[in-house]
Amino acid sequence: VNAAGAITIDSTVASADISICGAGDVDVDETNAIVLADLDTNDGTITVDAGGAITATDVATGNNNDISLTTTSGDITAVATVNAGSGNVTLASAGAILDDGESSTLITAGVLTGSAAGAITVDTTVVSASLSTSAAGAIDVDETDAITLTSLSANNGAITVDSGGVI
């Protein structure tokens, strides 16, 4: 779907490819699991609420706007490129939040907030992070430069932070 302005969609699809070339937000309410193959805005926020797992392949806002991905069932997986510039990224998972394993694909944000009912494993370029697990699960953050750890709380799991700068 390509548009010049805001897009609001209630869907039951396997994957989404949505682009906004002008100003406008993307709001997707998915019934089940969804693959976010390519979601981008020129100047707007991105909000995705899914009833199943979210596979985030390429999600980006222009002009430093916020991104919010939420599952009510399932993980947020294959977190590849999620780029809010200096905007905020919020990830809320009914399961785990799992990175794609590639150090070149990053979550980019001013503030990263993540909550999961399982492990959190992310590669980041963020100013600060607040991450928590509500069920057994470790937290593993690989940051490219300096990071402020506002709050890290793992319920029955280890916390590991590797940083290319000051922690």
Given a cut of 90, is residue 78 above it in pLDDT?
A: no
pLDDT-derived band of residue 81, with 50, 70 and 90 as boundaries? very high
pLDDT tens string 120-148: 999 999 999 999 999 999 999 999 999 99
Q: What is the share, in percent, of the chain residues with pLDDT greater than 90?
A: 96
Q: Give the per-residue pLDDT at 113.
A: 98
For residue 53, what are its two tokens?
A: 């797992």
SS3 107: strand
Half-sphere exposure of 111 (CA within 13 A, CB side): 8
In the chain the beta strands, taken as DSSP E runs, fall at 2-3, 7-11, 15-23, 26-30, 34-43, 46-50, 54-56, 58-61, 67-71, 76-79, 81-83, 88-93, 97-99, 107-116, 120-133, 139-143, 148-153, 159-163
Q: Is the pTM above the cut of 0.75?
A: yes
Residue 29 pLDDT level (bands cut at 50, 70, 90) = very high
